[in-house]
Each structure stands twice: as structure tokens, then as C-alpha cells.
Amino acid sequence: MTLGQEFPVIGNWFLIHFVENNGMAFGFEFGGDYGKIFLSLFRIVAVVAIGWYILKLVKKDISMGFIACVSLIFAGAIGNIIDSAFYGLIFNDSYGQVSNLFPEGGGYASFLHGRVVDMFYFPIFSGIYPDWIPFVGGSDFQFFRPVFNVADSSISIGIFTIIIFYRKQFNKLDHKEDKPDLEKTEERDLLVAVENESEEI
């Protein structure tokens, strides 16, 4: 497929629409080369942090559903990193042509400067904003406008599932982290009490 090409999957409200973006989920991006490098490095740091967090969760008595949600976020972040890191190295541009895998002249971008491929497009309904709405009144609107990919879906599902079903899990984690300190305090108090009793005897 060439850039911008699309075909319907279900009617006119579920399309496969080939686009590439330089930034985050759903096409949001930072400008310039430095913005791209910053975003890529931020993703790598975030993936390392999430991976470390998952290891901590596995060692604790934590709901497997919560761990699965965090793992979805982790997997989605890795997917977008792979795209931005390697896609530009192994494909040439898709502007007005079907890109080639491993072209002779090399890819269109250097390491970590590749674009992320998005393809799922759900223009479920569209209309015009009422004139009385400030700034956007009278202009066209469409829901759902952003084009996204599997990695974006994985991140979004993980985040929204945590918000809806596992908000209280963070309080439990804080309580479990505080518990060892409480146990140490109780042990220390017990030792002091024993020492005092020994002195009295």
C-alpha cells in the first residue's frame, strides 16, 4: 500500500488506512529531529521502568489481571519502539509508491528516527459543530478521527482497564510496601520490651 491508501473492512466506519507518524500514540508528536530522539529515548526509559515494575509485581501477591494490564502497556510501548527504531532502516519511503524491504540505497531514516505505522481508522460518524460553540463552531468534526495501530490499542486497553477495574490496586501496593516497615517497628519495640524486662530482673 502507498501512503494514504485505504480499503474498507466493515462498511465506511472501519477502514484500513495506511499512515505514518513521527510521534506518540494516535499520531501525537514532538517536532524536529531532537523531538524524535527525545521521544524515542523516553520510550526506552519507560519500557525499562515498566519491565522492572512488572518484575516487582510478579514477586508479590498481586492480581494476575492487574499484571496483565501492565503487561499490555509494556508490550505496546515495545511495539512502537521497534517501529521507530527499525522501520526507517529497512524500508524506503511510501510517498507515492509501495515501499521496498531492504532497498539497495538503504532505508529512509537512521536508527530511532523511523516513523510509526498506523492503520486502524474508525470514522464512525461525522457532522458540524453548532455555531454557538467557541472556536470550533461551524467547522466539521469526526469521531473517531485518530488512526492507530495494534501497539496503541494495547496501551489504551491496559490503561483504561486499570482505571476502571484496578484503581484500588495502587492503595494495596502502597500498603504492602509499608507493611515491612511496620513489622520492623513491632520487632524493635518487642526487643526494647524484652531488654527492659531483663534489666528489671
Determine contact, residues 154/73, Cβ cutoff 8 Å: yes
Q: Which of 152, 174, 178, 189 is catalytic?
A: 152
Q: Is 181 a catalytic residue?
A: no
Q: Which of 33, 93, 118, 140 is catalytic?
A: 118
Q: What is the β-pairing status of strands 6-10 and 125-128? A: unpaired
Residue 144: cis peptide before it, omega within 30 degrees of 0? yes
Q: Is 118 a catalytic residue?
A: yes
Q: What is the β-pairing status of strands 6-10 and 14-21? A: antiparallel
Cα–Cα distance for residue pair 93/8, rounded to 1 Å? 24
Name the strand (E) or helix (H) holding 9: strand 6-10
Residues noted as catalytic: 118, 152
